[in-house]
Structure 1
Amino acid sequence: MRTIANLIWFLLGGVIMGLAWWFFGLLAFISIVGIPWGRSCFVIANFSFFPFGKEAISRDELTLNEDVGTGNFGMLGNVLWFIFAGFWLAIGHLFSAVACFVTIIGIPFALQHLKLAGISIAPIGKTIVSKEVAAAARYGNAHIKVQKLRSEK
């Protein structure tokens, strides 16, 4: 089912927003300073081309380790990203979501655009994984937190 949904998504508009991500990635690479953002743009462009069955998850939630992108530098990078590119990509995904919401059959596609709008606001510190991996990471983190709470008592 994911394959069919991804194919329909790609043919009916996903390619446009994926190309927008590539465009901002190329602009970031041209600036040299923006190479880390450009690399992220290409990863998220692939996510934008085929979003069904995938999810963006924070790297520290996945690995239980904080890194440069999930700390204060990541927050600063996300602010810069939002100012220069994230706002425009989020607007594009929001307009696409509204266009999809108009039809009943387009609601799952609109929800994917809203998911992508969220990641376009602050992509630094996130990674793209399958829904199953994201659920397993969240389950594992919850299990660890419960164990810590139980050991405190």
Structure 2
Amino acid sequence: MKTLLNVIWLVLAGAWLALGYVVAGIVCCLLVVTIPFGIASFRIAGYALWPFGRTVVDSPTAGAWSTVGNVIWVLVAGIWLAIGHVVTAIPLFVSIIGIPLGIANLKMIPVSLLPLGKRVVPTDRPFAAYGA
């Protein structure tokens, strides 16, 4: 079932959202100071491309710098990516088959706003970030 949802997601929303994250990551990597933002953006692009069967957890090694970085990220790119999630979620809710995809899209908004200090792990191993 996860594979079917991921394929439908990829066609209806995943490719466009992942492209937005990749563009944000490329721009961040061009500016040398913001390379950590670019790496986080590429990580979230992979999650936006194939989200079902994976989840986002807090990284146990994230410190105060990730909080500072998240504030900068929200102002520079996070708000635009979150708006992209809302805009793509609305048409997904129109059809019956798109409702789970719209819900997944809205669940991705927190990580699009605050990507630093997060890890993407399989849903069957939610404590993988903690070494378990």
Pair in the same fold by TM > 0.5? yes
1:7 Cα deviation from its structure 2 partner: 0.9
Percent identity among equivalent residues?
A: 36
1:71 Cα deviation from its structure 2 partner: 2.3
Structure-2 separation of matches of 1:12 and 1:74: 32
More helix by share: 1
Q: Which residue type is aligned with residue 2 of structure 1?
A: K
1:99 Cα deviation from its structure 2 partner: 1.5
Per the normalisation by structure 2, the TM-score is: 0.92
SS at match of 1:124: coil
1:116 Cα deviation from its structure 2 partner: 1.5
Q: Which residue type is aligned with residue 29 of structure 1?
A: C
Structure 1 residue 94 and structure 2 residue 96: aligned?
no
Structure-1 separation of matches of 2:71 and 2:52: 27
User: Within 5 A, what are the aligned runs for 1:45-60?
Assistant: 45-60=45-60
1:96 Cα deviation from its structure 2 partner: 0.9
SS at match of 2:28: helix
1:74 Cα deviation from its structure 2 partner: 1.0
Per the normalisation by structure 1, the TM-score is: 0.80
Structure 1 residue 84 and structure 2 residue 76: aligned?
yes
1:11 Cα deviation from its structure 2 partner: 1.1
How far does the alpha carbon of each residue in 1:95-114 deviate from its partner, in whole angstroms, 9 at most, with x for none?
11111112222111011111
How far does the alpha carbon of each residue in 1:49-108 deviate from its partner, in whole angstroms, 9 at most, with x for none?
000011010012xxxxxx3xx222111100000000000000000111111112222111
SS at match of 2:116: coil
SS at match of 2:124: helix
4+ long deviations beyond 3 Å: none
| CA RMSD after TM alignment | 1.4
Map of 2:19 onto structure 1: 19
SS at match of 1:113: helix
Question: RCO higher in 1 or 2 (8 Å CA, sep ≥ 6)?
Answer: 2
User: Within 5 A, what are the aligned runs for 1:58-73?
Assistant: 58-60=58-60, 67=61, 70-73=62-65
Greater radius of gyration (CA): 1
Aligned residues: 129
Structure 1 residue 32 and structure 2 residue 24: aligned?
no
Structure 1 gaps of 5+ residues are: 61-66, 141-153
Structure 2 gaps of 5+ residues are: none
